[in-house]
Amino acid sequence: RLTTLSLAARMRTAHLHRHAAALFAKAHAEAKESESTEDISSEDEEEEETSASLPPLCVSPQEQHTHKEDKTQEEQEEKSKSKKRASVLLLYTGGTIGMRKDPKTGAYFPDSEYLAERLGQGLLPRDAAMPDLSYSAYTPPLDSSDMNSAHWSAIAKAVGEEYDEYDGFVVITGTDTMAYTASALSFALENLGKPVVVTGSQIPISVVRSDGVANLVDSCLVAAHGRAAELAECVVVFDGHVLRANRTTKLKAWGISAFKSFSYPPLGEGGVRFVTFPDRTRRPAAAPFRCRPHFSPDVALFSMYPGAERFAPAALAALLAQRVRGIVLEAFGTGNAPTEKALMATLASLCHEHGVVVCVVSRCPHGAVSLGSYSGGYCLAQAGCTSCHDMTVEAAFTKLSWLLGDPALPVARVRELMEQDLRGEVTQGLFLHPNRSLRVLV
Ligand code: ASP
């Protein structure tokens, strides 16, 4: 059931529509470095929200209907019943789930109004377990490959601003960079006391075999009832799995079970009953929630491959010329790279002379970086690189962007924090998984 809110709440939601739309439009415009973009900096947001030049609101037909003052008795009854329900805010950023086919070109494109319309027409089942839903869409809705740290920041801000008003949040986004967005949110949203779910689908809801409805239903249920089950963190809900956001990786381009968490077990699973595993989840935070949506865009991802020493020194120097501040280095196995002198000298100069934070992740999805195990890793450590242990590339990249986005943190502290567990993204102690009763015997 979509939006059976009081007038005040509806107005707030409309406000969010505009606010979120403005933030997203700004992020997108920045990403495209458009000269013609209007200035919608945070100081000007109040003014922007009343401006006629804002992107149009995406209000579902049902939401429009409930704007009428003269409610029928049935609506009044619905409203009083709905008071017992949890409330969840859906934030659509784009992605396959809400795409429909352009009849002219035959290509799929994200359409925020289409998803709103379908939700308003009863796309999701009316069931006592389902929450009351409010919907907000970003303008323009994007293919997630067009998203970057400015968009993560806009989403985090929207959740932060609405945090007290809902029992949970569902961020609906494209699958291609969903693991990045989900990881980024896990860092920006501190001390969560309720679930923030990230989901999407492999097949649009406009197509007969879509996985979108099941993913949306599961996500709404997790967002609505997660807090009661002490699930109060950022998660990805996809194909019946609840995965820790910052442990998640997109594994399949075609398969419906597209996401996997290699180094941490699922937090929940939808079988005949939908269950969560409380010994794996993070306890709801005692400290007050805060939103710190700052991300540095000056972070790059750099991959090792056999023969990388041929181009790597020049490529790394080129990154430095572009004022890179952080590099996630995807290395072999337990964190190895070619030991060739010029490459190591370049890395040492980046780390020691230029204060670039170079963080090593493994190209293997299973296992962890251990920089002392082989001479390749030892050389990286000597050059000043930092180990990301068993962090995913997505977690390492977004964590580094987030830490470097905090102007108060000196480089040495950023390096320290990269090695520490902030949101359950890294296993402390090699091969020791406290939630899996796993111990090294020999
Ligand atoms: N290219 C799409 C996106 O990431 C794929 C999807 O949503 O599944 O936005």
Q: What is the pLDDT of residues 337-384, one digit of tens each?
A: 999 999 999 999 999 999 999 999 999 999 899 998 899 999 999 999
Amino acid at 414: V
Provide the Cα torsion 156, 160, 165, 169; round to 10°.
20
CA–centroid distance, 95 to ligand 1, in Å, is 4
| Banded pLDDT at 322 (limits 50, 70, 90) | very high
CA–centroid distance, 110 to ligand 1, in Å, is 9
Residue 49 has pLDDT above 60, yes or no: no
CA distance 150 to 27: 5
Q: With a threshold of 0.85, does the pTM exceed it?
A: no
CA distance 370 to 390: 9
Q: Quick one: pLDDT at residue 139?
A: 85
**Residue 96 Cβ contacting ligand 1 at under 6 Å:** yes
Residue 435 has pLDDT above 60, yes or no: no
Q: Quick one: pLDDT at residue 388?
A: 96
In the residue annotation, 96 being an active-site residue is answered as yes
CA–centroid distance, 176 to ligand 1, in Å, is 5
Which tens digit of pLDDT belongs to each residue from 291-318?
999 999 999 999 999 999 999 999 999 9
| Banded pLDDT at 44 (limits 50, 70, 90) | very low
Half-sphere exposure in the Cβ direction for 110 (13 Å, CA)? 23
Residue 270 has pLDDT above 60, yes or no: yes
- Closest ligand 1 atom number to CA of residue 177: 4
Q: Which of 28, 93, 96, 100 to mutate to test the pocket of ligand 1 (most atoms within 8 A of CB)?
A: 96
CA distance 256 to 157: 30
**Residue 131 Cβ contacting ligand 1 at under 6 Å:** no
CA distance 141 to 40: 18
CA distance 14 to 17: 5
**Residue 336 Cβ contacting ligand 1 at under 6 Å:** no
Nearest to residue 210, comparing CAs of 218, 199, 219, 202?
Answer: 202
